[in-house]
Structure 1
Amino acid sequence: MECIVRPAQSADCDHLMGMIREIAEYHNLLDEVKINSQVLSADGFGGDPFYQCLVAELAPEQEGKQGHLIGYALFFFGYSVNTGRIVYLENLYVVSESRGQGIGKKLMSEVAKLALARGCVEMKFTVAEWNVRALAWYRQLGAQDKTEAGGWHCVELGGEALQRLAGDRR
């Protein structure tokens, strides 16, 4: 299946939200999705973008489905005090009917190219423990499971706990 990988645009946000809901449902986390396409658009395409996103869309020769989005990679740049510049892959998703055709790898490869162009030395991301198929695929690409190898855990401080820490008891 031929696809084109391009930077997402604000006009893609409705379709992106549909795919975000699909991956959240797959991970049984649909009730945790609190954003909508307007928030996604403002956060990615406003004056101070918090993330970048690449989308995979069907190539023009795909039976009149030009512009049909079939996947995305949402990422942002950060910093490691150990290694320097990094890219964090927040979400990688390919619609079910398009999986197994190299689209996920193509999206990740394009993120890697952008990261290297910006001087990044590593890509970080998380994988659900039960998603052994994805974990095996990432390992095949050369990724290392830091939970196993280094004993690192992914920790989150959010919601009321974050507000308490900031001294805001809303």
Structure 2
Amino acid sequence: MAAIGVFCASSRLLEQRWLDLAYDLGVEIGRRGHSLVSGGGCVGMMGAVADGARAGGARTYGVIPQNLVDLEVADTKSDELVVTDGMASRKTLLIEKADAFITLPGGLGTLDELFEVWTTGTLDLHHKPILLLDADGFYAGLLDWLRGLTRHEFVRPSAMSMLLVSRDIGESLDLIEASLLGVARR
């Protein structure tokens, strides 16, 4: 099956519903026979998605920069944990190792990862599905803003069509799996 890269918040101060969302996504990734590629952290939603994936039977692959290992936030339970020299090399390796990407709610780091993988996709550097899980309308404002950029021709419609959007876990993985089948048929 596929290696699913998940971008999400690593804050320790999140509402339980966001941690539950991440955990449940991880469980479903494992239940469907996929593996998880994550930022290699053990806190916040990042830790929850990894714990959920393992609970669902998934293999977990984490990529974390040394400075975060030094802060003792590494997911040492990962089946494989790769330590990089910085954030840029971390993102490069995450993009290389994952077959598809799901972005959960998050902040600046999460958005940075989303835009990196989306931009590299629009530049034809990969053809991997990219999905934004817009639980509870978390990303509604961002999506409105992006659509506005398209209307003003700052973002091409083809770039917007690359971004899959879903509001729940089951539909998200259904869309990823269907997209992966389409990519495999190319």
Alignment TM-score > 0.5, same fold: no
**Which of the pair has more CA radius of gyration?**
1
Structure having the larger proportion of residues in strand: 1
Higher RCO, 1 vs 2 (CA within 8 Å, ≥6 residues apart): 2
TM-score band w.r.t. shorter chain: 0.3 to 0.5
